Amino acid sequence: MLLKDIFQQKDRTFSFEVFPARTPEGDIRLIHEILKEFSLLKPDFISCTYGAGGGNRDKTLAIVEHIQKAYDIASVAHLTCICHTKNEIATILKKIVAKGIKNILALRGDYPKDNTNAPIDNYKYSSELISYIRKEYKNQFCLGVAGFPEMHPLSSNKELDIKYLKNKIDCGADFVITQLFFDNKLYFDYVKSVRQAGIKTRIIPGILPITSYDGLIKFCKGCKASVPEEIHNTFAPIKNNSKKILEAGIKYAIKQCKELLNNGAPGIHFYTLNKVEPVKEIISIVR
């Protein structure tokens, strides 16, 4: 199902991001346990990453196809362009069509840390990927893009960052999912600026339930998301007590999601890190 049809029916969506496992055992657990448990929470859609953080790219389409076929849940394939040739992208899109996948989160991606040699014949920005998909496939896909409440780390200023977001929408994107953030003011200010720039699409906030303090610091360093003092003060003293961290992470996310939803956010996209329990608890309260 196209996400834009779901968006027409629902003011709010609750969705999950998963990532392909790194081991064959992990694959089995993801396919047979984790996704099954997530499906029982009846999300509006599930998205699967593509090579994020140097992770796997080959399994994304199979996972997305499985989510649709096994659970009849709308799903979204992330697709990054910078490390592929244009021919490779054309081939991947043919596979996406063959698998009956209808929704794509169209991204630039990043060069791997150990190899900055991208193919020369590539799409340099997600907007170029979007333009290509729209040219070749018209309205066959619903296309999402990434948005950055703190601006993308490579952007020189927020105005320019939003100008490029507007370009992605003008090239044919239908919705935006944001980078994670912990201070809701970042999201509200971002949405305000985005609307002032004339962008009308949904800006779905991306929320990471905290399950590990050290993991959080590493994750945020990787994607250059800021960590407020409140988070350090709450989580650092209990960082070696996994039960307390989990409880505090759920409490923080519930507070964050409630405030977002009460102030007009069109749902929540959970960065699940393939962990069911926290999302299950949070969604049971905030939905």
- Residue closer to ligand FAD by CB (options 80, 201) is 80
Residue 230 bears catalytic tag: no
- Residue closer to ligand FAD by CB (options 50, 213) is 50
Closest CA to 180 of 221, 155, 142, 149: 149
We find the least distance from the C-beta atom of residue 197 to ligand FAD, in angstroms, to be 13
Q: Which part of the chain contacts ligand FAD (CB under 6 A), choosing from 32-40, 49-57, 93-101, 276-284?
A: 49-57
- Residue closer to ligand FAD by CB (options 50, 235) is 50
DSSP 51: S
**What's the full length of the chain, in residues?**
287
We find the least distance from the C-beta atom of residue 25 to ligand FAD, in angstroms, to be 22
The catalytically annotated residue of 17, 128, 150, 281 is 17
Strand pairing of 13-18 and 267-271?
parallel
Contact flag: residue 52 with ligand FAD (CB under 6 A): yes
- Residue closer to ligand FAD by CB (options 49, 75) is 49
What character string, x for contact with ligand FAD (CB under 6 A) and - otherwise, covers 131-170?
A: ---------------x-----x-xx-----x--x---x--
Dihedral (CA of 200, 9, 42, 22) sign: negative
Contact flag: residue 107 with ligand FAD (CB under 6 A): yes
Rounded-to-integer distance, Cα 85 and Cα 173, Å = 21
Contact residues for 178 (Cβ-Cβ < 8 A; gap 6+): 146, 147, 148, 149, 187, 190, 203, 204, 205, 206, 269
Binding ligand FAD (rule: CB under 6 A), the pick from 64, 67, 96, 110 is 110
| φ, ψ dihedrals at 283, nearest 5° | -70, -30
We find the least distance from the C-beta atom of residue 247 to ligand FAD, in angstroms, to be 26
Total residues in contact with ligand FAD, by rule CB under 6 A: 24
Contact flag: residue 203 with ligand FAD (CB under 6 A): no
What are the structure tokens assigned to 252, written together? 């923080």
Strand pairing of 267-271 and 202-207?
parallel
Binding ligand FAD (rule: CB under 6 A), the pick from 71, 125, 137, 188 is 125
Which of positions 245-284 make contact with ligand FAD (CB under 6 A)? none
- Residue closer to ligand FAD by CB (options 67, 107) is 107
Rounded-to-integer distance, Cα 71 and Cα 22, Å = 23
The amino acid at 101: I
We find the least distance from the C-beta atom of residue 149 to ligand FAD, in angstroms, to be 10
Alpha helices in the chain (DSSP H): 3-9, 24-29, 35-40, 60-71, 86-98, 126-137, 158-170, 184-196, 213-223, 229-235, 242-262, 276-286
User: Site residues (CB under 6 A) for ligand FAD?
Assistant: 49-52, 78, 80, 105, 107-110, 125-127, 146, 152, 154-155, 161, 164, 168, 177, 179, 206
What are the catalytic residues? 17
